[in-house]
Each structure stands twice: as structure tokens, then as C-alpha cells.
């Protein structure tokens, strides 16, 4: 079964809007795990407007499944993840002011930066993943960085899916096959939801993990976290 890692940034965003500790990110992580999710994801941005670096430290203490920390590899980010040692780090190329991740890596242009960082993370025993678009010309250089996995950036799929599912999925299928043939594990995330997840996970070969935040937390406002996590797990079976 494909693993579901629940991104808790939106819980942290609501908490930060009032300055206290409600809703409690750690309690949400425990709840999500107890409802059967396979992992917790957090994406601290440089301004820490939703997840904070402290959240990364605190989550590492209590997560019993897998902690995936996403982020741009600034010195501060790398220092923290090397100290805390989450199970997986997903490297994203987004600039500090980005609202959300909006592109995959250009692995040709940034090959030496990525190689250095992947090597450092792996020396700390951390599994690595790098965020990728579906441009197949970038996959060989992605593999050359030594990364364990890639994460497919699924926004374009999610946008086109309602109109033309076959056209939406095709580049992702090709990318997953290419990544697998290069020895890379395949994760995916961004704008996946209870409407498009089943199709995506059934159609993509070698898919190991999806990380989902915005839609899952939004749907939980109506259904509750437990039912929503179960609903998403159901789509992955």
C-alpha cells in the first residue's frame, strides 16, 4: 500500500494566527497516527509562518511512524534537520517568500548543490527526496545527486484531472517509470485530495508515499480528522 504522510502545516498556521498553542500540532500528529496514517510531514519556511523549527524538534520526540521534513536547503534548515534527524528530508527549491511550493528542482543547474546536501543528509542517516517536475531530461541528474527518492510535484496533475484524467496522469506515469529505472523511490504531493487521489495512486507505478496537507485538513473541518484520514487511506488501498 502507498504510505500516507499527513502534512500538518495548516494546523500550525491556525495555531500561529492566535499566538497560543491551539490547535496543538503535537496532539494533531498523535491523533493522525492513531487514525492509521503512515507518517507526518512538516514544512518549516524561513519565516516560520506555519510550521516552526521548534515544531520539527518537538515532532521528532513524539512521532512513532515517520517524520518527513520538507524545505529549502538553507544553512539554518540543514543545521536543524541534521541535528534532529527526521526519517526523511524532502528538498524543495522554493524561494523564502513563496506561498507554497511552486516548482521542482532544476537538477542540472543545481546538481552540485543537491549532491553536497544529499551527501550530508545521508551521512546523518536521513533518507532524502527531491521535489521534481515531470521533465524527463532532469531525472538522470537527479539520480546522480545520490538521492534516495524523488517527490513528484502533482499540482499540474490536480489541475487537469477533472477535465482530462488520462492526459493529466501521463507525464507522471512516465516520470515514475523513469525514476524507478534509475533506482529512485517515488513519492508525490501537492494538491492531491479525496477526489483525485485514488486515480493517481492506482495509475502511478512504483508509488511509495504521498504527502497531503491542504485538502486533507480542509476536509477535516467538515468530516473530522479521523473520518478524513480513513477516507484518504481508503483511496490508497
Active-site amino acid positions: 43, 70, 190
Compute the chain's Rg from CA coordinates.
17
Nearer to ligand PXP (CB atom), residue 149 or residue 190: 190
* 66 forms part of the interface with ligand PXP (CB under 6 A): no
Query: Rounded to whole angstroms, how far apart are CA atoms 175 and 172?
Result: 5
- The single residue among 33, 55, 66, 70 that binds ligand PXP, judged by CB under 6 A, is 70
51-57 own/partner pairs: CB under 8 Å, 24+ apart: 51/8, 51/9, 51/12, 51/25, 52/12, 52/16, 53/80, 55/8, 55/12, 55/25, 56/80, 56/81, 56/84, 56/86, 57/84
Three-class secondary structure of residue 165 per DSSP: helix
CB of 88 to ligand PXP, least distance (A): 12
Looking at 139-147, 168-176, 189-197, 198-206, which segment touches ligand PXP (CB under 6 A)?
A: 189-197
* 90 forms part of the interface with ligand PXP (CB under 6 A): yes
Query: Rounded to whole angstroms, how far apart are CA atoms 179 and 134?
Result: 10
Nearer to ligand PXP (CB atom), residue 51 or residue 84: 51
* 219 forms part of the interface with ligand PXP (CB under 6 A): no
* 189 forms part of the interface with ligand PXP (CB under 6 A): yes
* 92 forms part of the interface with ligand PXP (CB under 6 A): yes
C-alpha grid cell for residue 34?
492513531
List of residues contacting ligand PXP (CB under 6 A): 7, 9, 43, 70, 90, 92, 100-101, 131, 151, 189-192, 211-215
Amino acid at each position: 500500500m502507498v504510505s500516507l504522510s499527513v502534512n500538518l502545516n495548516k494546523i500550525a498556521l491556525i495555531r500561529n494566527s492566535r499566538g497560543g498553542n491551539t490547535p496543538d500540532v503535537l496532539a494533531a500528529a498523535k491523533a493522525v497516527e492513531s487514525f492509521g496514517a503512515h507518517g507526518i510531514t512538516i514544512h518549516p519556511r524561513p519565516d516560520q509562518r506555519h510550521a516552526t523549527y521548534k515544531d520539527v524538534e518537538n515532532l521528532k520526540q513524539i512521532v512513532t511512524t515517520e517524520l518527513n521534513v520538507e524545505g529549502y536547503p538553507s544553512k539554518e534548515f540543514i543545521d536543524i534537520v541534521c541535528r534532529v534527524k527526521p526519517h526523511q528530508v524532502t528538498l524543495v527549491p522554493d524561494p523564502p517568500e513563496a506561498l507554497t511550493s511552486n516548482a521542482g528542482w532544476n537538477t542540472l543547474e543545481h546538481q552540485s548543490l543537491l549532491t553536497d546536501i544529499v551527501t550530508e543528509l545521508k551521512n546523518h542517516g536521513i533518507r532524502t527526496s527531491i521535489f521534481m517536475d515531470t521533465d524527463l531530461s532532469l531525472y538522470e541528474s537527479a539520480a546522480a545527486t545520490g538521492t534516495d527518492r524523488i517527490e513528484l510535484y502533482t499540482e499540474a496533475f490536480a489541475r487537469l484531472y477533472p477535465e482530462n484524467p488520462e492526459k493529466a496522469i501521463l507525464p507522471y506515469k512516465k516520470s515514475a517509470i523513469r525514476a524507478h529505472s534509475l533506482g529512485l523511490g517515488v513519492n508525490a504531493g501537492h494538491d492531491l485530495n479525496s477526489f483525485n487521489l485514488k486515480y493517481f495512486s492506482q495509475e502511478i507505478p512504483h508509488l511509495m508515499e504521498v504527502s497531503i496537507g491542504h485538502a486533507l485538513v480542509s476536509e477535516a473541518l467538515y468530516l473530522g480528522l479521523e473520518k478524513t484520514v480513513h477516507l484518504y487511506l481508503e483511496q490508497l488501498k
